[in-house]
Amino acid sequence: MKLHQPKLIKRVDLPLSKSECNRWLILRDLFPGTINIQTLSTAEDVVILNRLLQEKPDVYDCGMAGTTLRFLIARLSLLSGEHLVTGHPRLKERPIKPLVDALRHLGADITYTEKEGHTPVRIVGRTLEGGEVYIDNTHSSQFVSALMLIGGALAQGLTIHGKSMGVSAPYIYMTAQVMQSMGVALSIDGSTIRIKPFKKTLASKDIKVEPDWSAASYGYAMVLLGQDSEVYFPGLKQPSFQGDALVANYFAPLGVETIYTGAGIRIKKSTRRMFERSYTLNLSGNPDLAQTLVVACIGIGQAFRFGGLHTLKIKETDRLLALKNELAVIGATLTIGDDFIEWQGDETIHPPTRAFDTYNDHRMAMSLATLATLFPIDINNPEVVEKSFPAFFEAFFGDLC
């Protein structure tokens, strides 16, 4: 797909938060009649989870959806019958052992059918009483969220002891806020989470899901890189369930102003304050913003070092390596380590020497697309944006793509 010069004085309707939708879908399935979700995201991850929960097939194919995989493993542990959970070959590489170990400790019947510690798994659902469980959550907050979501359905409730709350902690707090808003009694003390059994209410709760702050990040990057740029995102607000609402804070010192209108936000260029030295952030709580920030900083010549990114190696692709490979195409030499990515800011970038590859990763496609604000680009496999923002190219580029 060839791209250049997105229209950047406009309104963009963002997809609804897939992270929030997926949490509500699990809770709705666990507690029928208590939740009415007004509108669901059209993101592929949400569509897959919603379909699987409704159809309850013998084989649950999660595609590339890591959240769907982890949440389903926990949910199906309580659902009577035998279930096989599988997915795309890349999904089979992503870790699930800490979650499976914790569920087995609670009495779940889960068997690996190929490689130990990885999908596919066969689950024989049964009644779990709950109690206390310890989990290694250093590689994914989804392990903790998956356990939390089923905690209220256990007769004894659930106490979860994690190693820390560091990795993607905002997603754990999102899970807690969603559960508390539907009436689940829950507390967080350090890295210990206590959940009491949920008692159904008679009335169904109407749920209006927020637009996705992660998706807004690409607009921030385009406004930063563009001229006379202003974008209106209806529905975004503070406070938000979503930790990625911090994107507004992260782009403010780079030169993007966020104006809260009550009905949404407007973002526009402000006087950019270039850092005398490297722009340094720990993104362990917001790793989904890393690719956008990396591309945006390179686009304005801003040196950076972003840390706390060890989970990016086990996403849809090794995102650190993918960024290094693709941004070399415009003349940027990145240094990556186990948990960081940095650029010295002393190189002049140029139009790409070939089409960008996207590695079956929606966030690679969308973050690289922001460079079309600077010069013409070509992106391979653009349809990967279906995973989280199906209307991405239409929303920002319209008839230009």
Give me the residues paired with residue 282 across strands.
307
Closest CA to 183 of 210, 165, 169, 203: 203
Burial 109-124 (b: 16+ CB within 10 A, else e): ebeeeeeeebbbbebe
Yes or no: say if 122 and 83 are a contact pair by the CB < 8 Å rule. Answer: yes
CA–chain centroid gap for 128, Å, is 29
Please identify which of the residues 29, 212, 244, 288 carries the catalytic annotation.
Answer: 288
CB 284 within 8 A of CB 306: no
**Distance from C-alpha of 45 to C-alpha of 388, rounded to nearest angstrom:** 7
Task: Kindly report the number of other CB atoms within 10 A of residue 204's CB atom.
Answer: 12
CB-based contact 247:319 (threshold 8 Å)? no
In sequence order, which residues have a C-beta less than 8 Å from that of residue 189 and are 6 or more positions away? none
Cα–Cα distance between 226 and 233 in angstroms, integer?
Answer: 17
Residue 246 sits at the vertex; the CA angle it makes with 343 and 23, to the nearest 5 degrees, is 115
Q: Give the CA angle between residues 271, 275, 280 to the nearest 5°.
A: 125
Encoding tokens for residue 119? 């999908």
Active site residue 288: yes
- Determine the Cα–Cα distance for residues 339 and 312; give it in Å rounded to an integer: 8
- Letter for the amino acid at 198? F
Q: Which residues are catalytic?
A: 288
